[in-house]
Structure 1
Amino acid sequence: MNTNEEIKEMVKQKYSEIALQDQDTNASSCCGSGGCSTEVYNIMSDEYDHLDGYTADADLKLGCGLPTEYAKIKLGNLVVDLGSGAGNDCFVARHETGESGKVIGVDFTEAMVDKARINAEKLGFNNVEFRLGDIEKLPITANVADVVVSNCVMNLVPDKPKAFGEVFRIMKSGGHFSISDIVLTGNLPEKIKNAAEMYAGCVASAIQKDEYLQIIKDAGFTNIRLQKEKPIIVPNDILKNYLTEEEIADYNSKPNIIFSITVYAEKTESCCEPKSGCC
């Protein structure tokens, strides 16, 4: 891949295309809600339809976990969803935070923000807001979020330390996040790592699991723990677009290295002045 800005533009273009498709086209093209596996986008999503607040029109099947299910959202919370897409996680979060809370979704694809706003308007939600913005420079005030969620998006951000630094900045002391993402436990074949489609599909953009968790720690978060982990198996009909038959056989002969994780972490409450006796 090339520069960070070129990577962002490539991802933005791909997700704009997905946002502009209707459900039927989206399904038939396999770039989201379809059942075929000729695209990498639809091989890792979990089913949301058992969760209260689920909205089918907002579910583009682009996630790799169920972060809102594990996010411990309470009534009255302010929740921020990073890479909010058509709004699915925001609407599930809104059910948990209730009318007394607020949900802010941030996405850097204008077509996705437009789609999410239309969905929110149809549902009559006046406490769900969608903002156009970059995760590396969030359009959100510091120290306001009780909970941050994100579903298979942080791995697409070129500067991950900066992104998690932004999560720390916007979060209140005592707040926490639940983020689902793709990580690696080994090395991908170079042909996959250099494929734009596999980058936009969250595979080639993934970093090593240990490195990912260290970035979270370095950002200042504490009580870091995995809430869920599952292997991601890339089908041969996708691999054949990038690898020879011999290379596919070699890849499949090795232990799986692509995983979806849902990770939880907290922003520890700031201690007041030692002389007050609270520390």
Structure 2
Amino acid sequence: MTDIHLTPGTPAETDGTATCCGTATDTSGEAGCCGTATSGDAGCCATTTATSGEAGCCGAATDTSGDGEDIRAQVRARYADAATRAAEGSSCGGGTLYGDDERGELPETALRASLGCGNPLRVAELGPGETVLDLGSGGGIDVLLSARRVGPTGRAHGLDMTDEMLELARRNAAEAGATNVEFHKGHIEDIPLPDGTVDVIISNCVINLSADKPSVFAEMHRVLRPGGRIGISDVVAEDHLTPEQRRVVGDWSSCIAGALSRSEYLGGLTAAGFTEVSVEFTAAYAESMHSAIIRARRP
């Protein structure tokens, strides 16, 4: 095994952009979404470490190797907490990965609930009249921005498994006056849309959270129309980092333990039938792990 020294904790930033969980630490000594408070008080995540085997908002769990339902429970708890805190006025991300013009289009609660590791809309190249699907749509930030870009003749769908996030997203859509959006409850491993009905799939730091990525890739391929494309942001490991080493860096719900390596991503999408597959690292996230843009097309 490669001798690599991994330090758990706050993901790194190299270009000033936020990571999956937003700003890590503020100057007052209180933690941000992922940070550790010097005063002993957590920020928007309430606690940074769990002792029961389930993570807090971004904290390390004592057991990161659970089965799919255990992982879903950890992820659901974390995102339910983030939605509740965003609705109450706390920030777990703040939409810092979006430009001023994009932030100006959105309700404040959508920005507060942003937990992404990138901005997939910068590579999705949405056009008027297209149908777009956001996997793990959270508070709806990318769905609402997509709805503006596809226009009144297009449609923007969001898919999320967390009731609190769906409630927040629908409230944000109403506040934004978006009439061409629809939010669905479900899992990204079993997308509740018909075959061949989507032009573009986007996702922002969510696929790494799934315990069954082959099913996610197969479902993406199924719902896309021929010629349809994906443009997603995710956390991706360098190829030399083993799954065991990834678990040292962080737990599943903090977007690390479940991250694929670059070659695993390329191979998984290719096996699902995608072509023109690419994985581009965009920023450091943790040691030997990166925020990345993933592109592919259904033939």
TM over 0.5: yes
Q: Could you give the per-residue CA deviations for residues 178-208 of structure 1, whole angstroms, max 9, x where no partner exists?
A: 010001113379586168x731110122121
1:166-245 alignment to 2 at 5 Å? 166-185=219-238, 186-187=240-241, 193=247, 198-226=251-279, 229-233=282-286
Among all aligned residue pairs of Structure 1 and Structure 2, give the percentage whose two residues are the same amino acid. Answer: 33
Q: Does 1:57 align with 2:109?
A: yes
Aligned to 2:69: 5
1:97-108 alignment to 2 at 5 Å? 97-108=150-161
Q: Does 1:19 align with 2:47?
A: no
Aligned to 2:51: none
In structure 1, list runs of 5 or more residues that go unmatched: 35-41, 234-255, 269-279
Per the TM alignment, residue 24 of structure 1 is displaced from its structure 2 partner at its CA by: 6.7
Task: Return the alpha-carbon distance in structure 2 between the equivalents of residues 170 and 119 of structure 1.
Answer: 26
Per the TM alignment, residue 209 of structure 1 is displaced from its structure 2 partner at its CA by: 1.3
Aligned to 2:192: 139
For the 8 Å contact 2:262–2:279, the answer to whether it is kept is: no
User: What RMSD in Å do the two structures reach over aligned CA positions?
Assistant: 2.3
Q: Could you give the per-residue CA deviations for residues 133-182 of structure 1, whole angstroms, max 9, x where no partner exists?
A: 00000111110001110000000010001101000000000110101000
Match of 2:217 among 164, 172, 195: 164
For the 8 Å contact 2:132–2:155, the answer to whether it is kept is: yes
TM-score normalized by the length of structure 1? 0.77
Distance 1:191 1:225, change over 3 A: closer
Task: Return the alpha-carbon distance in structure 2 between the equivalents of residues 212 and 96 of structure 1.
Answer: 28
Match of 2:169 among 98, 108, 116: 116
Q: Give the aligned residue type for 2:231.
A: S
User: Which of 221-230 and 113-122 deviates more?
Assistant: 221-230
Aligned to 2:14: none
Per the TM alignment, residue 212 of structure 1 is displaced from its structure 2 partner at its CA by: 1.3
In structure 2, list runs of 5 or more residues that go unmatched: 1-64
Task: Return the alpha-carbon distance in structure 2 between the equivalents of residues 205 and 25 of structure 1.
Answer: 30
User: Which of 170-179 and 14-23 deviates more?
Assistant: 14-23
TM-score normalized by the length of structure 2? 0.72
Distance 1:167 1:191, change over 3 A: closer
Q: Give the aligned residue type for 1:62.
A: L
Q: Could you give the per-residue CA deviations for residues 22-58 of structure 1, whole angstroms, max 9, x where no partner exists?
A: 367633xxxx237xxxxxxx9xx62343437444321
Aligned to 1:86: 139
Aligned to 2:97: 46
Q: Greater CA radius of gyration, 1 or 2?
A: 1
Aligned to 2:290: 259
Distance 1:217 1:13, change over 3 A: same
For the 8 Å contact 1:67–1:178, the answer to whether it is kept is: yes
Task: Return the alpha-carbon distance in structure 1 between the equivalents of residues 165 and 146 of structure 2.
Answer: 18
Q: Give the aligned residue type for 1:26.
A: S
Distance 1:229 1:33, change over 3 A: closer
Per the TM alignment, residue 226 of structure 1 is displaced from its structure 2 partner at its CA by: 3.7
Q: Give the aligned residue type for 2:98.
A: E
Task: Return the alpha-carbon distance in structure 1 between the equivalents of residues 166 and 85 of structure 2.
Answer: 14
Task: Return the alpha-carbon distance in structure 2 between the equivalents of residues 126 and 6 of structure 1.
Answer: 36
